[in-house]
Structure 1
């Protein structure tokens, strides 16, 4: 069985800081499609977020998301997988539009590359993975959403391509991210109790101070929580986006998963940010879980 080299992952974790250190020419956090422009968001483009994972239960539509962090592991929210047997779960990687369509219209300067990436993934029929093991954080509390984080181990190694890559992890300690912006992407509903999106959507959201977040939400905001969302326009994750990554470019424009979509009050409320599990608090736990071979 193939496993990610822990030494390689540790090196990349240490590398991803807000101090601009030289990066390796290969590895995590690199996108094939860098064109940048969910609730208040826009349709994305093939290859732009190549670590996105779509979660499916047996005989159901896509219901949660995650982020590929190694050739065998997907990071997600505990509430997405805590009550599911591994045999009842499938993961699809390299997806853009779950119905196989391209967004219309495509930007003129991106039309050919986007189509090429979709065609590449359509020809690659090996992007559906069964699940071998689910590891939910041992202190996960469903009622308060505390420690809402989990790792799914795939049944076989991933074949990396232009549309399937892994995202970086942040170091265990990060400086304040308040007032910076990050991206969240997903196939979830485009409004509270609304319809889902077959195409991957993305939105840029500002990160809140935790005290302001607590005042806005009223409870269940911890030091392991990261809050982000539109203060003026409605920009947020919503139902079906749970488990997906909150993403920020760091060293050499490498992208890291600084948060995991956890919960919120409705969706896209300007005065109510979305709540994310703060990934940097769990970096050591993630590394320890990834290196377990059973």
Structure 2
């Protein structure tokens, strides 16, 4: 089924972006931890030296470095599957990430413009076809009952009066009253199932919209935190405190990671919405998570 095949493709693409984001985060965190360790070690002969802090930082560096290597291997596996060039620690850090992905604003804007999408949902169109087929069957039975068959025909003629003659016959309808009642019942049942499906699909679509709206609020808060940290990093006075700068950079990396994870959740919900509403397979096929939503052209990488 085309819808299922497309969903699997989108899942792989989103998995790739998630893996790339996680790997970048771990390498950036390792880089900052290494800087923090170096800073603490330079304080060994001073009153600022904190042995416990050094041990904690070293433990975190070992863990993050190990996870970075493992996640890079996983990333390369996905890249091999997609036919993409493999990354190294250096190229991952220099990667622009998912700049090609559709923006959060574009997702919410498109959802806001979508109305009556439940009518194009695959589950709805299937149920509507069932209703139409049942209606046709019902009409056929109705027509058959109106057609009679002259099973027997008799003619009577008065021998004494040649002008006196008449005919009579027995008309047997095709089908029975039971068949028509059964067909009418099936039609009402199919219509009820259609009405139920329309309500259920619309409810599911509304729930997805609400979830994406909630995620939009979370992302806005994460972005505000990013802006706050970036503002502090521009403060010239803080440059005299290297440890504080490193902590702020670690916060920035954490907030970027959080913002990316929120968007990934929204993209998954967005694909579910498009699939459920039937738009994922609308012609011409498009890359719905790519900026500009380009058409999917056979043999071309979108």
Considering the TM-score relative to the shorter chain, is it more than 0.5? no
Q: Whose strand fraction is larger, Structure 1's or Structure 2's?
A: 1
| TM-score normalised per structure 2 | 0.23
| TM-score normalised per structure 1 | 0.24
Q: Whose helix fraction is larger, Structure 1's or Structure 2's?
A: 2
